[in-house]
Amino acid sequence: SGSGSGSGSGSGSGSGSGSGSGSGSGSGSGSGFGSGSGSGSGSGSGSGSGFGSGSGSGGGLGSGSGSGSGSGSGGGGGLGSGSGSGSGFGSGSGFGSGSGSGFGSGSGSGSGGAVNASAALDLEARVASPRPGVWGLDGRPTALTALASDGVQVDGVRVALSDLEALADLELDAAGDARLRTDAALEASATLEHDTLPTAGGETRVVVRVRASDSLSLPRGRLRVHLVIDRSSSMQRTWDRVLASARMLIDRLHPDDELQIVAYGTDAIESYPAQRVGDGRAAIRALEEITVGGGTHIEAGLELAYARASTDDTRSLCILLSDGVPNHGAFEAAELGSLAARARRRGVVTSVIGLGTEFDARVLRAVSRQGQGGYHVSADLSGLSAGLLAELDAHARAAARQVSVRVQVPEGVEVLGVEGETAASVTGESARLDLSSLDAGEERRLIVRVRVPAGHRARAVASVRLSYESGLGGSVADAASLGVSFGPRAVVATGEASAAVLDTDLSASLDVASEAIAMGDVEAARGALLAHATLAEGRVEHQRSERLQARVRVVRRVARAVEDLLPGASHGQRRQVSLAFGDLAARLGR
C-alpha cells in the first residue's frame, strides 16, 4: 500500500471498477478485489495498509497506478517500505524499498486502486539473487527465524510464513451452498463436502458457517472486563510496558463499563474489585500499586476472575496475560482449558496474550480455544497494546445472542465427530453448537463428519437448524435439508464446504507443525505441512482456484524451508518460529 497526494480520487472495490478525475485538493484510494485509477493536480494526503502495491493509496492484494502533481504524505503497514511513483510488484525493488510501493508502505504522488484476486500469485516473486535450495533473500546462508519475518528464498522464489495468511480464508464458488434465511445481523450457510458418494457409501462433512456482520451500526453494550495480569518475578523487566498497555485499555473503556484487575504470582489478589470504571483514575492507581514477585499460578488468577463474572446481561471478557509456565496449581493444558470452557458456558469469553517467547504456548492456546477468545503472541511486547485493544474492540458489539446451530442426521447416517470447533456437543445422531453471543465480524464454523451407508438413489444426509436473538431486535430461525447422490466415485462439491474444510485443515496443520518445530522434530513438522498440501492439491481440479494452487505451492516451499533450516536452529530460534506458527494457526482457526 502507499499513499499519495493529488487532486480528485479514484477507487475500486469488490469485483468492479471505478475511475475519477478532477482538480483542487483531495486524496484517492482503492481497496478490495476491484480496480481503480485517478489523476489530477493539487495537494492532499492519504494512507493505506495491507498487502497491496502501486503508487498512491490502496490496500488489498493487487496493484495499482496513478499520476498527479502536488505534494503529500502517507503511510501504511506491511513488509518493507517505498516512496515515489510506480505500479505493480515489479517496480522498484519488489519486496522492500525503492520506487513504487513494493510490498509494504510508502508515499508518493497520484492515486491508485487494488485489482484482481489472481494478484495473490504475485506473492511468489523471484528474488534478485536466485539460488537453488534454501537461502536468504540476498543469496546468503540464513536462519530459520527469517521464515517468520522477511522470508527466505526456495529455489529462487521468495516465501514467508505470512504468505499463508494472505492465501487463507478461501472464497470458492458457492453456487451449491444452501443459504439459511437470516436478518442483516448474520449470514449463514449449510452444505455438504460431497455432491456424490460411491454406491458403497462413505464419509462426508456437513459444514455450517455463521458470520456476524461487521458493517452494521450495532449498539455497543456494557462490558465487564476481567484483566488477569502475571506479576511473577520474570515480569520485572517488562512490567513498565505492561502497565502502559493496561492504562491504554482502561482509557478505551466507557465510564459505565465494569473492570476487575486480578494480579497473580504464587497466589492471586484482586487489585481492583469489579466495578464501574468511571474516569479510570482509581483503576490506574490500583495498577500502579501491584508488586512484582513470586511464581506463576494461572489457575488462581482465572478462578478469581471467573468468580466475579457477571450474571446479568453485561458481557464478560477475561483477558489473561502471561510470560511463563505455570508452576503452582493446575499446569496442564487440559485442566486450564476446561476451566475456561466452564466459564464460557456461563457467558465469559477468555482471550490470551503470551508475552515474550518462554511462555507455555500449549497451555495458553488451550485456554483461548476453550474460552472461545483470541490468542496473541507479543514476543517483544511491541504488540501488547494492540492485542489488548483488539480484544476489547472485537467484543464490544454483539450481532446476535443465544445462537444455536444443530445438525441432525436421519436413521442410518452416523455422526463421527466435529472438527475445529471445541464448543460443540456431539451424540450419535446430532451435533450442536450453542453460543451465548456472536460478536460483530466473528465467524464460526461447525464441521461435522458423518458416515453415509451404501445407496443407489439420492438420500437425505442431514437437517440443519439455526436460531438466534438478533442484535437488531427480534428472534430469527431457519432450517435446511442436505442430501447427496450416489455414483461410481466420490465427487467433491465446490463452494463453502470445501473452503471451510481446507481452511480448518491448514490451521490444524500449522498447529502440529508449531509443536514439532519447538521440539526440533523435522519430519513431523514437514509431514504436517505436506499433508495439507496433498489435501489441497486434490481439490484443485474441482475448484479451479488460482488462490488455492498458489497455497499448495507456498505450503510446499515452507515445508522445504523448515526441512533445511530446522536442524541447525538453536532452542531460542525454534521457540520463536514455533510461536509464530501457533499464532498464525490461532488466527486462521478463529
Q: Which residue has the higher pLDDT, 142 or 216?
A: 142
156-182 pLDDT, tens digit per residue, is 999 999 999 887 765 544 444 578 899
Tell me how far apart the alpha carbons of residues 207 and 446 are, in angstroms, rounded to a whole number: 6
Structure confidence at residue 421 (pLDDT): 80
Q: Do the Cβ atoms of 175 and 495 come closer than 8 Å?
A: yes
415-452 pLDDT, tens digit per residue, is 999 987 877 889 878 999 988 888 888 888 899 999 99
pTM: 0.67
Tell me how far apart the alpha carbons of residues 95 and 113 are, in angstroms, rounded to a whole number: 19
Per-residue confidence at 543, pLDDT binned at 50, 70, 90? Answer: low
Tell me how far apart the alpha carbons of residues 386 and 400 are, in angstroms, rounded to a whole number: 25
Q: How many CB atoms lie within 10 A of CB 315?
A: 25
Tell me how far apart the alpha carbons of residues 3 and 24 are, in angstroms, rounded to a whole number: 17
Tell me how far apart the alpha carbons of residues 297 and 265 are, in angstroms, rounded to a whole number: 6
User: Which set of grid coordinates corresponds to residue 201?
Assistant: 457409501
Per-residue confidence at 221, pLDDT binned at 50, 70, 90? Answer: confident
Q: What is the mean pLDDT of the chain?
A: 78
Calculate the dihedral angle through the C-alpha atoms of 182, 185, 189, 190, rounding to the nearest 10 degrees. -70
pLDDT higher than threshold 80 for residue 381: no
Q: Which residue has the higher pLDDT, 387 or 328?
A: 328
Tell me how far apart the alpha carbons of residues 150 and 335 are, in angstroms, rounded to a whole number: 37
124-145 pLDDT, tens digit per residue, is 888 888 999 999 999 999 999 9
pLDDT higher than threshold 90 for residue 339: yes
Structure confidence at residue 337 (pLDDT): 93
Spatial neighbors of 570 by CB under 8 A, at least 6 apart, are: none
Measure CA 294 to chain center: 34
Tell me how far apart the alpha carbons of residues 399 and 469 are, in angstroms, rounded to a whole number: 9
pLDDT higher than threshold 50 for residue 3: no
Q: Do the Cβ atoms of 102 and 142 come closer than 8 Å?
A: no
User: Residues of the chain with pLDDT > 70: what percent?
Assistant: 76
**What does 365-378 look like in DSSP terms, one character per residue?**
HHHHHHHEEEEEEE
Q: Do the Cβ atoms of 461 and 206 come closer than 8 Å?
A: yes
Structure confidence at residue 545 (pLDDT): 75
Structure confidence at residue 350 (pLDDT): 94
Per-residue pLDDT, averaged over 4-27, amounts to: 34
Q: Which residue has the higher pLDDT, 243 or 56?
A: 243
Per-residue confidence at 304, pLDDT binned at 50, 70, 90? Answer: very high
Tell me how far apart the alpha carbons of residues 46 and 44 are, in angstroms, rounded to a whole number: 7
Q: Name the amino acid, one letter, at 528.
A: A
User: Which set of grid coordinates corresponds to residue 23?
Assistant: 482538480
Question: Across the chain, which distance is largest between two alpha carbons, in Å?
Answer: 72
Which domains are present in the chain? 1-122 (no CATH), 134-169+499-589 (no CATH), 178-217+399-493 (2.60.40.3670), 223-394 (3.40.50.410)
In degrees rounded to 5, what are phi and psi of residue 206? -95, 125
Measure CA 285 to chain center: 34
Tell me how far apart the alpha carbons of residues 330 and 478 are, in angstroms, rounded to a whole number: 42
Structure confidence at residue 171 (pLDDT): 54
Calculate the dihedral angle through the C-alpha atoms of 535, 484, 206, 214, rounding to the nearest 10 degrees. 100
Query: CA of 552: how far to CAs of 435, 486, 502, in Å?
Result: 34, 29, 11
pLDDT higher than threshold 90 for residue 256: yes
Q: Which residue has the higher pLDDT, 270 or 13?
A: 270
Per-residue pLDDT, averaged over 335-364, amounts to: 90
pLDDT higher than threshold 60 for residue 541: yes
Q: Which residue has the higher pLDDT, 199 or 171?
A: 199
Q: Which residue has the higher pLDDT, 108 or 207?
A: 207
Summary count for the chain: helices (H), strands (E): 11, 28
Per-residue confidence at 122, pLDDT binned at 50, 70, 90? Answer: low
* Enclosing H/E stretch for 202: strand 202-212
Tell me how far apart the alpha carbons of residues 400 and 398 are, in angstroms, rounded to a whole number: 5
Per-residue confidence at 390, pLDDT binned at 50, 70, 90? Answer: confident
Tell me how far apart the alpha carbons of residues 277 and 400 are, in angstroms, rounded to a whole number: 26
96-106 pLDDT, tens digit per residue, is 333 333 333 33
> Where is average pLDDT lowest: 190-194, 388-392, 518-522?
388-392
Report for 9-18, 279-288, 484-493, 579-588: range of highest mean pLDDT: 279-288
587 class by beta-carbon count within 10 Å (0-12 exposed, 13-18 middle, 19+ buried): middle
Structure confidence at residue 517 (pLDDT): 97
